[in-house]
Amino acid sequence: MKKVLLAATVSSLFAVAAHAQSSVTLYGVIDAGVVYANNAHAPGSASSGQSWSVGSGTVSNTLWGLKGSEDLGGGMHAIFKLEDGFNVNNGAFAQSSELFGRQAYVGLQSNQYGTVTLGKQYDSTVDYLAPLSEAGQGLGNNLAAHPFDNDNLDNSFSISNSVKFASVDYAGFKFGGLYGFSNKAGAFSDNRAYSAGASYSNGPLSIAASYLQINNPGQGDNANGAVSGSNNTATFVAARQRTFGGGVNYAFGPATVGFVYTHTKLDGLDAINMDGAYTSLSGNSLRLDNYEVNTRYALTPAMSIEGAYTFTNGSFNTSAGDAKPKYHQFSLLADYDLSKRTDVYAEGVFQHASGGNGTVLGDAAINGLSPSSTDKQVAVTVGMRHRF
């Protein structure tokens, strides 16, 4: 009898130990606020004018997810993440009908070498360069993204069918890469994606660089490819998209200043995503160079302000003629922490567009809002965020 009790006790201890080595975490962010925008003109609508609305994810993406880790021994872990974006106003999916439209992957993590994951996940631009930009810093700042989020620093889309490697931290240096398969028989390169990036942090200094290329992003003939247009998240419908850039941040006590440069080149452009709807914009090529200066300052442990200025210089080539679109955008955000999980914020954004030569590229279009009916747009929002 004693042997039976001893065996049962030992088995229970092993079960408790095994349970302690595994974890599953529920997490998320809910962001809601009142948003004012002037000259708003929703794509496909005949009306335009001032817009007052309750916005979802105006500053930070509203999302929830599950992530987990199991200790396999020898410094190895099995990991997974399932993440969904949603509209807090009506509960609808943010990525069309996709349950986990932001991320869904499983993989192995080594404490010595790095992590390999498979599934739907973000590219190296999001992982390495975006944290140095105003749109990707911390929980993000969606309104401050570069026009149309043309460089994906605001993680407008993730890569399906992808395999990704992320290194461990080597004294502040990290690197990684991703490959997204087309998953189409007989068309290996049709709607595939690949990217690479690296970053280095040492005390107050942080630097990063990345590259992303997508063949046939958003194309309807391969909706199951790396970047699909069927869920209205692909930024462009084009024959090819290439994006590269670099950035640097430096901290001076409670202040941080940064500079980010990105270059996006689109070949065989067919359409552009504006406020979740595709607007036809056929052309031979579109080039957009983004120059961003950003700053953050902690007034108190609970109160901070951050701002950014971005100049975007473009060139649009078509058979009917060329255009030289340019954008000047200013943003200023004040944030106050009510607790470690809850904060309130107020933000203002101004954008001025020019040189569109009669195309939609000449209309101001602050990220996440209906584009302006003129070359100028102002947006103001007051809201709150809760993290769990």
Q: Mind listing the pLDDT tens digit for each residue in 336-350?
A: 999 999 999 999 999
Give per-residue pLDDT as tens, 347-359. Answer: 999 999 999 988 8
Do 119 and 162 meet the contact criterion of CB atoms below 8 Å apart? yes
pLDDT for the residue 279 = 85
pLDDT for the residue 46 = 62
Helix and strand element counts for the chain (H, E): 2, 19
Question: How, if at all, do strands 277-298 and 303-318 pair?
Answer: antiparallel
Cα distance between residue 334 and residue 166, in whole Å: 33
Give per-residue pLDDT as tens, 44-68. Answer: 666 678 889 998 988 999 999 999 9
DSSP 295-314: EEEESSSSEEEEEEEEEEEE
In this prediction, what percent of the chain has a pLDDT beyond 70? 91
pLDDT for the residue 4 = 43
Q: Give the chain's length.
A: 388
Give per-residue pLDDT as tens, 255-311. Answer: 999 999 999 999 999 888 887 778 888 888 999 999 999 999 999 999 999 999 999
pLDDT for the residue 261 = 98
Q: Which residue has the higher pLDDT, 8 or 251?
A: 251
386, pLDDT greater than 90: yes
pLDDT for the residue 205 = 97
Q: Which residue has the higher pLDDT, 21 or 305?
A: 305
CA 367 to chain centre: 12
Do 55 and 36 meet the contact criterion of CB atoms below 8 Å apart? no
pLDDT band at 323 (very low <50, low <70, confident <90, very high): very high
pLDDT band at 321 (very low <50, low <70, confident <90, very high): confident
Give per-residue pLDDT as tens, 168-187. Answer: 999 999 999 999 999 888 88
Regarding the domain with residue range 24-387, which homologous superfamily does it belong to in the CATH classification? Porin (2.40.160.10)
Please work out, in degrees rounded to the nearest 5, the angle formed at the alpha carbon of residue 326 by the alpha carbons of 325 and 330. 145
In this prediction, what percent of the chain has a pLDDT beyond 90? 69
Cα distance between residue 149 and residue 144, in whole Å: 9
* Residue 4 DSSP code: H
330, pLDDT greater than 80: yes
Please work out, in degrees rounded to the nearest 5, the angle formed at the alpha carbon of residue 306 by the alpha carbons of 301 and 312. 160
The strand ranges marked E within 59-110 are 63-73, 76-85, 103-110
pLDDT band at 8 (very low <50, low <70, confident <90, very high): very low
CB neighbour class for 90 (10 Å; exposed up to 12, middle 13-18, buried from 19): exposed
pLDDT for the residue 16 = 42
- Average pLDDT on 210-233 reads 81
C-alpha pair distances (Å), 357 with each of 30, 287, 374: 40, 15, 13
pLDDT for the residue 17 = 43
231, pLDDT greater than 80: no
367, pLDDT greater than 60: yes
- Average pLDDT on 102-112 reads 97
This prediction's pTM: 0.90
Q: How far apart are the first and last CA of the chain?
A: 48
162, pLDDT greater than 80: yes
Q: Which residue has the higher pLDDT, 53 or 20?
A: 53
